[in-house]
Amino acid sequence: MGNQLIKNYDIVKDPSYMGGHKQMWQIYAGTKQDKSKQKVSIFQLDKKRLDKKMQNREEVLGVLRKECSVLMRFKHPQVLSIIEPLMVPI
């Protein structure tokens, strides 16, 4: 994962988990490189596995973007939260 968007994180080489339809999601374990050493999970969507012939492909991507923005506003200590949105246009 040599992406410039994640340069502030130490991330394991292989995904810890894969899931979703056609294993589109890879989840990597990592830690933030600052003094907090906060443990993080990096969710990565593999666009190559997203069926290009899918009729509602743009609708699916739109839902993913919307849900990410909703999750960014949701704050609760016991629930998954977004520390830093690393999304790039899909």
Q: Per-residue pLDDT tens for 11-62?
A: 899 998 888 777 778 888 999 888 888 888 888 877 777 766 667 777 877 8
Q: Is residue 51 part of a domain?
A: yes
Buried b (16+ CB within 10 A) or exposed e, 62-88: eeeeeeeeeeeeeeeeeeeeeeeeeee
Q: Is residue 80 part of a domain?
A: no
Of 11 and 64, the one with more pLDDT: 11
Q: Is residue 66 part of a domain?
A: yes
Handedness of CA 7, 87, 25, 54 (dihedral sign): negative
Paired tokens of 14: 């292989």
Q: Is residue 87 part of a domain?
A: no
Q: Is residue 79 part of a domain?
A: no
The whole domain housing 57 covers 4-73
pTM surpassing 0.75?
A: no
Question: What pLDDT score was predicted for residue 90?
Answer: 45
Compute CA distances 61 → 4, 47, 66, 77, whole Å: 22, 10, 9, 27
Domain count, the chain: 1
Q: Is residue 18 part of a domain?
A: yes
